[in-house]
Amino acid sequence: MGFKLSYFFPFLFLLTLPALAQFNGDGLKGVYYIGTNLTSPAVTVVDPVVSYRWNGCPPQPGMSGSAFSVKWTGQVEASYSEPYTFVADVNGGVSLIVNGQVLINQWTDYAPPIHGFAGVINLTAGVPVSIEVDYFTNGANPTTDLIQLLWKSPSQVNGYVPRENIFSGAALNPTPTPQNPSACQAGIAVDGVLNEWAWNSTTGWNTVNRSVLGNVYGTTAVFKTLWDSSNFYLGVTVTDSQLTNTSTASEWENSTVELYLDPLDTRSVTVTISDFEYYFRWNDTVAAETQSRTTGVSMHTTTIPTGYVLEASIPWSTLGLGSPSPGTTLGLDVGVDVDHNGGNCRDGQIIWNGGSDDYLDASGYAQLVLANPCPTPVSTPPAPTGGNPYVAPNPSSGGTVQFVYTMTSSGTAHIKVWNAWGDLVATLSDPKGAGLQSSQLNVASFAPGHYFYRVELDYSSGGKDAFQTQVLAIKK
């Protein structure tokens, strides 16, 4: 499992002439070994780039964080026919072989400061040649172990070797079909409760469930985007059985939602200074961003029985877009970091549309088109028939539902929801006045099936109305 070099190599965000993708590569095959001399293979994956900083964390689940080795193999295709200089920046030992030619052979566990080694080879545009990158560390300084493979040529901008130009030989996975957000009314309250009418629509929700790093323990998420003339809004419901925010190493080493934005929709194979990466960590009240561009950004998380809800807003002015209009297109992706070990090492990551290299490569982001306004809110729901509470919509396709009931006087409505196995999955305690009332519950993270709910109304005067358990059906 790799960790980001974005803070360590700020030049990656200052490239003003990004190379455009000319190929459709997927990365290199990475074999991770328990031994330090490429022995005892433990895990084989496809890594989109060779650019990792492990911070003393295991490179893959079940491995040591201080002694391991990796062999990356595949093919590389150049964009230009000219001499290419390959550079390996490492703490640890490294060797590089391109087209059978040994360019770098430094098999020593180098401790900090970072060591850079280089080799030159002539390449022909569009002609694939073999590449092998070997790396090892044996604990010289495990908290700083890293490797980054870069290249440059007279025409090639200096930077990491991007995913588009390297090929593992594995079958490519199809990219999920993006869905567009909706333009909605202003006045969203960023309070961690997705209860405004703009969120209530069952359309526009996107499922995040593709594991790209490590062990995610079945974590999934759904998200939706909204906008008005002032702000971009993000609402996310994360289903995760264990939440942490104790890591002091980096925001992504916790239970965190990551938002990747390419406001100019450049589709660049590099991340430039015009791109944004926000971190919304569970149980935090302040967002982070790779270049600290958080002016006016608001966030709030709410813990729910199945995980947590994030609601956030980002001013268009912070993104450098002024006030956009319908039809404006951005690049966007959403990821969720999973941390069940409680230490300074996350366990895994899920991504919606791109890959684990989203922090380096914007070409995998989805295209997000700002659409026209949402439908206007529906009228007040009808009163319950015979006084019995009801829930609407029922069946629900997984958005927000309303529990509707009548209070004879002021008090508190208590609502509990169980799944088919009898597990309590949601509770509401909602103070209300007398008359027709409703309480809202986001069920976007609920799996399809039948659920059971019960409404009890406790009045301030001491009385109570209790109703029979009823069924709520979720269909997706």
With a cut of 90, say whether residue 18 has pLDDT above it: no
C-alpha dihedral sign at 10, 11, 13, 14? positive
pLDDT tens-digit series, residues 333-363: 999 999 998 878 899 999 998 888 899 888 8
pLDDT(306) > 80: yes
Q: 9: pLDDT confidence band, cut at 50, 70 and 90?
A: very low
- The highest-level CATH class for domain 182-369 is mainly beta
Q: Give the pLDDT band (50/70/90) at residue 201.
A: low
Provide the token pair at 49: 């780039």
| Residue 6, pLDDT above cutoff 60 | no
**pLDDT at position 55 over 70:** yes
3-state DSSP assignment of residue 247:
coil
Residue 205 has pLDDT above 70, yes or no: yes
Q: Given a cut of 80, is residue 379 above it in pLDDT? A: no
Mean pLDDT across the chain: 86
| Residue 23 confidence (pLDDT) above 50 | yes
Regarding pTM above 0.95, the answer is: no
Torsional class of 450: left (φ above 0), alpha (ψ -120 to 50), beta (otherwise): beta
Per CATH, domain 385-474 is 1.10.3720.10: no
Beta-bridged to residue 7, according to DSSP, are none
Q: Which CATH superfamily hosts domain 10-167?
A: Toxin - Anthrax Protective Antigen;domain 1 (3.90.182.10)
The pLDDT of residue 377 is 52
The pair of structure tokens assigned to 212 is 């790209």
pLDDT tens sequence across 123-153: 999 999 999 999 999 987 777 889 999 999 9
Give the whole-angstrom CA distance, residue 299 versus residue 234: 9
Percent over 70 (pLDDT), the chain: 88
Q: What does the domain layout of the chain look like in residue ranges?
A: 10-167, 182-369, 385-474
What whole-number percentage of the chain has pLDDT above 90? 52
The confidence band for 28, taking pLDDT boundaries of 50, 70 and 90, is very high
169 pLDDT more than 80:
yes
User: What phi, psi does 143 have (nearest 5°)?
Assistant: -80, -5
Phi, psi dihedrals of residue 430, rounded to the nearest 5°: -125, 105
Sorting pLDDT into bands at 50, 70 and 90, what band is 11?
A: very low
For residue 106, what pLDDT band results from cuts at 50, 70 and 90?
Answer: very high
Q: How far apart are CA 446 and CA 426, in angstroms?
A: 10
Mean pLDDT of 276-301: 97
- Strand 82-98 and strand 101-123: the pairing is antiparallel
Please give the single-letter amino acid code of residue 71.
Answer: K
191-210: average pLDDT = 77
**Distance between CA atoms of residues 394 and 383, nearest Å:** 16
Quote the pLDDT of residue 271: 87
For residue range 381-397, list pLDDT tens digits in order. Answer: 777 877 889 998 888 87
Same fold, 182-369 and 385-474: yes
Secondary structure of the chain: what % helix, strand, coil (to 5)?
5, 45, 50
What the block records as the tokens of 454 is 């019960």
